[in-house]
Amino acid sequence: MTLAATPFRAPACVGLLVSAIAWAGCAGSLADPAAFSADTGDAGAPANVDADASAASCPDVPTLLAATCGSAGCHDATTKAESLDLVSSGVAARLIGVPSVEGTGLLIAPSTPSQSVVYTKLLATPPFGARMPTGNPLDAAHIQCVLDWVTTEAASMSSGADSGAPPGPEAGVTGDAAASDTGSVSPFVTLRVAAGQMLPVTDAQGQTWSADTGYTGGTPDVATSPVTIAGTDSPALYNGQRYGNPTFSYAFDVPDGNYTVTLRFAELYVTGPGMRLFGIAINATTVETSFDIYAAAGAMNTAVDESYPVTVSGGKLEIDFTQGSVQVPKIDAIQIAQASAGDGGS
């Protein structure tokens, strides 16, 4: 089936910016506060600039990241707390297109830079969670510097320019892209989400599926005792779910292009075919009208995966689960992979 997508819709680490992307606590210290002042020639200058500071007076954001939370045992190249290496070169490559694990959104959103989590978490009213850095918010000028940097990096990716290294994996939702010896990676990281799960899940292939993210509506649920799931070598993925009350959706920022959306299901509740029927639409195109997990899998507690090609234009990919004639919709896991050349929608 071919879809033509339509646009739609700790203690924290001590320092200035890194708390915006570090969701778990780690010890850290500002190695050289003077390095982030507008006047780097004055070792005693405070790390502040006037509100009307120009881009030329902005601190170097990657350097700020490395010095603030790149200390040993935190976001250094060895420990990579929360899967974030903020010390190695090409830090933007590890943020661009990578979903936040705390709430909906990408750390750096290529198509909508002003919605990037590394920026919006600095604002007085962030879209989710507490303002970062906790107890030490940036002034308006520094926040503007971060937005300028995010916008430049996002534009570099969109134009194919080399901003130090193309975007790659890390930070919760991981994928197949792997760094080479030069630090370069493929331009899109496969998104993997374990629906309903509060913690990431590692499958039998060693791939990490992020804790539930990107959703609107629905109710999370994880089996209190592990259920044996037939037809899979990764049963933990099917022991968690998000189900409708009565409907819910997921939305992700992705670069325009062709993708394969794979939805993973196992029926743990109803005991026969025709007892749960629901609809699925991807970017407003219906792909299922009365999907029956039990019938598709052939039994309860049995894995069944369904894949759908989609072409994205507009930088958004939305999956809607709608109530059918009986019971409510549910999903166990979602994978969004870039299609191979010649694949995908038209």
Q: 261: pLDDT confidence band, cut at 50, 70 and 90?
A: very high
- Average pLDDT of the residues in 242-253: 96
pLDDT of 54: 44
DSSP for 268-315, written as a single string: SS--STTS-EEEEEETTEEEEEEE-HHHHHSSTTBEEEEEEEEEE-SS
pLDDT of 128: 76
- Average pLDDT of the residues in 104-112: 78
How high is the mean pLDDT of the chain?
A: 75
DSSP 8-class letter at 4: B
38 versus 106: the higher-pLDDT residue is 106
| SS3 label, residue 218 | strand
Q: 84: pLDDT confidence band, cut at 50, 70 and 90?
A: low
pLDDT of 173 over the 90 cut: no
Q: Are 171 and 21 in contact (CB under 8 A)?
A: yes
Q: Which of 97-106, 158-167, 276-285, 333-342 has the lowest mean pLDDT?
A: 158-167
Q: Which helix (H) or strand (E) holds 153?
A: helix 140-159
Q: Are 194 and 201 in contact (CB under 8 A)?
A: yes
Distance CA 237, CA 207 (A): 11
Count other C-beta atoms under 10 Å from residue 60's C-beta: 14
Distance CA 17, CA 120 (A): 11
Structural domain spans, the chain: 18-159, 191-338
Q: Are 7 and 284 in contact (CB under 8 A)?
A: no
Largest CA distance in the chain: 74
Distance CA 49, CA 10 (A): 28
Amino acid of residue 274: G
pLDDT of 138: 82
CA-based end-to-end distance of the chain: 10
- Average pLDDT of the residues in 9-16: 39
Distance CA 28, CA 91 (A): 18
Digit-coded pLDDT (tens) for 284-314: 999 999 999 999 999 999 999 999 999 999 9
pLDDT of 157: 61
pLDDT of 315 over the 70 cut: yes
Q: Cis before residue 246, ω within 30 degrees of 0?
A: yes
Residue 340, C-beta contacts closer than 8 angstroms, at least 6 positions apart: none
- Average pLDDT of the residues in 177-195: 62
| SS3 label, residue 33 | helix
195-220 CB burial, b ≥16 within 10 A, e <16:
bbbeebbebeeeebbbbbbbbeebee
Q: Give the residues across from 216 on adjacent strands.
A: 249
Closest CA to 344 of 311, 304, 319, 315: 311
Secondary structure E strands in the chain = 191-194, 201-202, 208-209, 215-222, 240-253, 257-266, 277-282, 285-291, 303-312, 316-326, 330-331, 333-338
Protein fold of 191-338: Jelly Rolls (2.60.120)
Best-predicted range by mean pLDDT (44-53, 110-119, 185-194, 198-207)? 198-207
| SS3 label, residue 21 | coil
Q: 105: pLDDT confidence band, cut at 50, 70 and 90?
A: confident
pLDDT of 162: 37
